[in-house]
Structure 1
Amino acid sequence: MNQVGFFPSETMSWYMAKTFLKRSFAVLAMLVIILMSLDLLRQSSNILAVPGNGSHEVMTYIAWRTPQVVAQFLPFSVLLGTLIMLAGMNQSSEIVAMKAAGLSAHQILAPLVVAAVGVACLTFIFNDTVLAPTSAKLSAWQAVDYAEVPRDSDIRTGIWVLDGDDLIHADTVIGSGPSMILKGVRVNDRTNGGLRAVVQGPSARWIDNGWTLDDAASFSVATAETNALGKVRFGLGVEPSRFTISALDGDSLSFADLGKAIDDQRAAGRPTASAEAARWHKLSGPLASILMPLLGSIAGFGLARAGKTFVRVVIGMALGFAYFVADNFALAMGNLGAYDPFVAAWAPFVLFLLVGETVLIRSEE
């Protein structure tokens, strides 16, 4: 057995990787079955309460909800799979035999980390190709309380667009392109962030590279007077395409589509910090699977006869839970603008990568 190489034995590496994957996916299957059963008990009455809904709609809910459960609990399943595997190997003295053969803790865990990299890659692909479209369908279905989802219409509501310092709001946007009509238009005339006047009217149309507002009225902040203006031109160069952007749901968009949507939001002058954090998290989130073998490694090292295997398993679970708490907290701070989007998505991963490596080094000592 080569004790210098990172993978000292091909047979040993395959054995460790296969055992790790079997344990992890077995735990994932168990969690998905249990959690989906409980969720279905809670939601089935709401689904079947809609006239015309039956077993087909229940199966549709299962098909669209299951990817969310898989994506949410896959990292935790990898953690539990690691703890179960390493604790069992420690109890049966397999870890002791490996260390007696001259293997370091890093060499023992190397096959697990490589397998976890494969799991992370599959997770990213799964999230992009399966989770995003099914989440979008489920969100649209739940928005109408599991009734029939109406066909896509060319009508949008509550649209905001930034034009220099001015803010343009349309209650309703009908159509697209040059034929677009804005209803319930309000233009906030601002200078250096301060509101000077509000111009509003019932409708506006795209004419000659700008918008023409009919029957406009202006309210002056300084004088508190309202004046009728008739037709008013505003938003020169603000193309109709900028009024087609609605709120973003990062979970319902793929990595590439979310990037395009963020660019559109930024061009429209909307805040994008929350969406940027969600996009970065689409990369850092799947990598959580790589952390779990490191955080769970504490369960595999130490003498089994010391009677502290259970304590080490609990500590490993606590470290994993601490990562999930820190990850959700950082994302929440990113959504509030307290953290930079990049920091919000990546800081927990980097922090617990260092924590896991520290645990592994201390175990090796």
Structure 2
Amino acid sequence: MQLDFFPSRSLTLYLAKMFIVRILAVLVMLVLVLMMLDLLSNSGEILAVEGNGQGELLTYASLRIPQLIQRFLPYSVLLATIITLVTLNQNSEVIAMKAAGLSAHQVLAPLLLTATVVAAISFAFNERVVTRATSTLKAWESAEWGPVPQDSGVKADVYLTDGSNVLTAATITGSGDNIVMNKVTWYERGAGGLIRLQVRADRATFANPGWRLENPVRFNVSTTTTDRPESMVVGQELTPEQVDLDTIDPDAQSFLDLHESIQAHEAVGRRTAEMRAKWWHKLSGPLSSVLMPLLGAVAAFGLARSGHLFVRALIGMALGFAYFVVDNAALAMGSFGGYPPFLAAWAPFFLFLLVGETVLIRTEE
């Protein structure tokens, strides 16, 4: 039996079923509690818009829940690991398995297999559901909870530069010459970077060259006067191709789409460290679920009657949460160029893989 990585078929199914039930239970509990707190924070702003009601709250929940599942699924796997292993330890089932000749890795094998399946499902869920929900939710929030955007390609909170001047838009729809900007603000800067002109408009379209503002309101900073010109074109050097490149949101793009966006940026010599770090993290993020049984395994081994089971559970929980802290810090460092993108996404995973193996081997007996 020592030559087999998995225990018997019956024992593998028993442990896997126990584990997956606890993962789902913890995930549902976390998502429900966090969704309730989120609605308490944002429901007032949503309902303040005329015409919004219960339907809009349900729409918000349907868009927010996928994000919560994406973020807290690895936490759920960690907590489910500790609950499962503590239960097995208290019932002396771990002792029985080890007495039957199973090694520590064989005891954990069904949990690792289950976590791998969860990671694969998480990756597919992020690609098909979370990216679209994120894009729609950001656009809806930028529209100040007005009508829900129907176009999943809406880009929100756009910041564009034309030399020293700045063009911002709450939302952008379309691509190429058909780009339409909504709730636009143009900042024209003078010497020393000081703003000398501010123009607000409801809408902007491509004027070839530049962007034509509709119903502009112009404020001259030096004279503190406001006027309403009939028409105004700004951003003469800002092309639709530049807008398409500058408005890419890595969180709202799938793995393959983001790879194409990175290649487009590299083709024109633009910095891609942030996008490439998040591109790699689209793989390492879901795969973190596979680490959780290994980091929480410290709760499985050692006699329950020794009085140290609670301490072991806390150590397993601390290891798991330490991984998420280091992972977020490394991703932030990679986003602004402190770490190479590959290292920022994968270094925490391999570091805690080694930590988990070391702790497992040292605490097995």
How do residues 29-44 of structure 1 correspond to structure 2 at under 5 angstroms? Answer: 29-44=28-43
3-state SS in 2 of match to 1:4:
coil
Unaligned stretches of 5+ in structure 2?
180-185, 189-205, 211-235
Question: For the residues of structure 2 that align with 1:107 and 1:281, how far apart are their CA atoms?
Answer: 29
Match for residue 231 of structure 2?
A: none
Written as runs of structure 1 = structure 2, the 5 A alignment for 1:234-273 is: 241-273=241-273
* Cα shift readout 1:187-244 (whole Å, capped 9, x = no counterpart): xxxxxxxxxxxxxxxx9847xxxx9xxxxxxxxxxxxxxxxxxxxxx99xx9863443
- Please show how residues 29-108 of structure 1 align to structure 2 within 5 Å: 29-108=28-107
Q: Which amino acid aligns with 1:14?
A: L
Distance 1:265 1:168, change over 3 A: farther
Deviates more, 1:32-41 or 1:119-128: 32-41
Give the equivalent residue in structure 1 for 2:296. Answer: 296
Of 47-56 and 248-257, deviating more is 248-257
Seen in structure 2, the aligned counterparts of structure 1 residues 185 and 174 have a Cα distance that, compared at 3 Å, is farther
| 2:192 equivalent in structure 1 | none
Alignment of 1:136-285 (within 5 A): 136-149=135-148, 159=160, 171=167, 205=208, 241-285=241-285
Contact 1:158-1:169 within 8 A present in 2 as well: no
Amino acid at match of 2:262: I
In the alignment, what sits opposite 2:214? none
* Structure 1 partner of 2:194: none
**Matched residues, number:** 314
Give the stretch that moved more between structures: 242-251 or 71-80.
242-251
1:247 CA drift (Å): 3.0
Using the TM superposition, give the Cα deviation of residue 336 of structure 1 relative to its aligned residue in structure 2, in angstroms.
1.7
Q: Which has the larger radius of gyration?
A: 1
**Measured at CA, do residues 28 and 157 of structure 1 come closer, stay the same or move farther in structure 2, by a change above 3 Å?**
closer
Aligned-partner residue type, residue 244 of structure 1: D
Partners of 1:242 and 1:268 within 8 A in 2: no
TM-score (norm 1): 0.78
Query: Alpha carbon RMSD of aligned pairs, Å?
Result: 3.2
Deviation at 1:361, TM superposition (A): 1.2
Does structure 1 retain, via aligned residues, the 8 Å contact 2:136–2:149? no
Partner SS state of residue 285, structure 1:
helix
Q: Is the 8 A contact 2:158 2:247 kept in 1?
A: no
Pair 360,261 (structure 1): closer, same or farther in 2 beyond 3 Å: same
Indicate the percent of aligned positions where both proteins have the same amino acid. 53
The reply on whether 1:319 has 2:319 as its aligned counterpart is yes
Name the amino acid aligned to 1:336: F
Contact 1:159 1:245 in 2 (8 A): no
Partner of 2:52, secondary structure, is coil
Tell me the alpha carbon deviations over residues 272-310 of structure 1, each in whole angstroms, 9 at most, x when there is no partner.
Answer: 111110110000000110000000000010001101100
Q: CA deviation at 1:27?
A: 0.5
**TM-score normalized with structure 2 length:** 0.78
1:45 Cα deviation from its structure 2 partner: 0.9
> For 1:360 and 1:336, how far apart are their aligned partners in 2?
35
Could you list the per-position Cα deviations for residues 233-276 of structure 1 after superposition, in whole angstroms to 9, with x for gaps in the alignment? x99xx986344322332211111111112222223433211111
Kept in 1, the 8 Å contact 2:302–2:363? The answer is yes
Q: Can you give the 5+ residue segments of structure 1 that lack an aligned partner in the other structure?
A: 162-166, 187-202, 212-233
Contact 2:35 2:65 in 1 (8 A): yes
Task: Tell me the distance in 2 between the aligned counterparts of 1:175 and 1:119.
Answer: 35
Aligned-pair distance for 1:81? Answer: 0.3
The CA deviation string for residues 18-69 of structure 1, in whole angstroms up to 9 with x for no partner, is: 1111111111111111111111111111110100001110000000000011
Matching residue of 1:197: none
> Equivalent residue for 2:11?
12
